Structure formats: C-alpha cells, structure tokens
Amino acid sequence: MAVPEPLLLATIRWGSVAPLLVTSLAIMGSPGPATISLTAVGSAYGVRRSLAYLIGIIVGTTIVLVAVATGITATLLAVPALRSVLIAVSAAYILWLAYHVATAPPLAAQTAASDAPSLAGGTLLSVANPKAWVAIAAVFASSRLADSSAADATAKVALLTVMIVLICATWLLAGASLAPLFRDPRRARIVNTALAAALVGATALAVLH
C-alpha cells in the first residue's frame, strides 16, 4: 500500500537533509573519472555538443544511485568477476575518451563530423565508474532521513538525483567556460592534453582505491 504523501513528508528528518547534501557535494562532487571527463569534454567540445554526454553521465549515475538504494550494490560487488569487468570497461572507455579529448581540434575548427562523446558513452562510463559506486554508497549511508526504510531511501534518491544533476552540470560548465580561451590550436592542444592526462590519472586513482 502506498504511503500517503503528507505522511511521507512528516517522517522526514529535515535536520539531516543539509548534512546529507553537504556530504554529497564533498564526496560525489570531488574530482573523479566522471566529473573530470565532463570538464574535459566541455572544454574540448563546448556545451551544446556535450549535452548528450552530460545526460548520459546523469542517467548512468542515477542508475548507480538506484542500485545502491535498492540494495543491489552489495550483491553486484560481491561478484569479483563483475567488479573486474566494470573496471576493465571503465578503463577502456576512458582511454578512448582521453585520446579524443587530447586530439580534438579547437572549437572554431570543429565540424559535425568531430567525435563528440555520446549519451551512451556517458551512461557506460558512469555505470562502470568504480568511484561512483563507492562515493554514492558512502553518501547514502552517511545519515538517515526517515525512520521508515522505504521513506528514507525515497527521500535520499530524490535529493541525491538533484545533486547529481547540479554537480554534473557545474563540472561541464566549468570546462566549457575555458573553451573560448583556447581557440588558438597550440594552446587548445596543450590544455586538452592536460585534461586528458588528468582524466586518466583520476581513473587510475579510482581503480587503485
């Protein structure tokens, strides 16, 4: 039987909402494969051509959030082979993405044929991103918003979904804000290569962690 909305709202511990949001900003918003990739993609391709990738990152991260909320995470990560597959897929896609970011021409020289990352690519990266699983699980367990497990999970999914959208959009816009400064081909190549290297480094740290 569905819980009436007024009753659900009444069960929320509103004093725990702010700490949850601050924790999510610190942990989920910290540099990692997904966030740095958004900055790199935004810088290399601009906002308009990066929107599909942004949506993919949001969708994939939300899938991870729902998996954590429903308890699927513990079951999935208990399978060593699956963890290895996730890491291998994530690493392979990030290396592909880093190469395309590093070799992307300046925005002024780009054409429709340029290999801008796709929605599917963003979704794949988020789902296979080891940092996403660890970070979201840590945030999810950091506080309790309601006495009822169902109400607690529902409230957290709603709030953290909003945070995912805000965090991802901010990282993309941060990268895109740099793009006009790098219309010179030489400068653009240096910056894009540095961002690609940072993306690979962040992924290596996430995998080792």
Dump pLDDT digits (tens) for 93-126: 878 888 877 877 766 555 554 577 889 989 988 8
Do the beta carbons of residue 38 and residue 163 sit within 8 Å?
no
- Closest by CA to 45, choosing from 105, 119, 134, 93, is 105
Cβ partners under 8 Å of residue 117, min gap 6: 37, 41, 45, 50, 52, 53, 56, 97, 100
The string of DSSP codes covering 92-107 is HHHHHHHHHHHHPPPG
Tokens encoding 52: 């599909």
Comparison of pLDDT for 60 and 14, the residue scoring more: 60
At 177, the amino acid letter reads: S
Cα–Cα distance, 146 to 160 (Å, whole number): 15
Please write the tens of the pLDDT for every residue from 164-179: 999 999 999 998 887 6
Question: Which tens digit of pLDDT belongs to each residue from 176-204?
Answer: 887 666 666 677 677 778 878 887 887 67
Q: What is the DSSP string of 33-55?
A: HHHHHHHHHHHHHHHHHHHHHHH
Q: What are the domain boundaries of the chain? A: 16-104+115-208
